[in-house]
């Protein structure tokens, strides 16, 4: 256990940040999974609507600093390409 007040505070902040990032990562995985399941079902309309939701959420994660800009662009590009291939 840390002895300094600042170290104790940093540990608390790290725990909070880790939980928050875990929530966002799980949410991102679920969003991508929704798009992928619509693609495998062959439902173009459902895939397009899920893609809109995914696009908005991924961009929001970029603005919050959860994802890097390049990572988000790569994810969106791959999902769009898969949706357009239906």
pLDDT tens-digit series, residues 13-25: 999 999 999 999 9
pLDDT in tens, 53-72: 999 999 999 999 899 999 99
Domain extent listing, the chain? 5-84
In angstroms, what CA-CA distances link 82 with 37, 45, 63? 11, 13, 25
pLDDT in tens, 24-56: 999 999 999 999 999 999 999 999 999 999 999
- Does this model's pTM top 0.85? My answer is no
**CATH number for domain 5-84, candidates 1.20.58.110, 3.40.50.1980, 1.10.287.130, 1.20.1250.20:** 1.20.58.110
pLDDT above 80 for 81: yes
Residues 6+ apart with CB under 8 A from 67: 28, 58, 61, 75
**Neighbour count for residue 42 (Cβ, 10 Å):** 9
């Amino acid at each position: 256990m840390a002895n300094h007040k600042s170290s104790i505070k940093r540990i608390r902040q790290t725990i909070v940040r880790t939980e928050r990032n875990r929530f966002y990562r799980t949410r991102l995985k679920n969003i991508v999974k929704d798009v992928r399941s619509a693609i495998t079902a062959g439902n173009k309309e459902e895939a397009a609507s899920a893609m809109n939701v995914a696009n908005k959420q991924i961009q929001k994660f970029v603005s919050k600093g959860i994802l890097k800009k390049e990572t988000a662009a790569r994810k969106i590009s791959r999902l769009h390409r898969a949706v357009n291939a239906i």
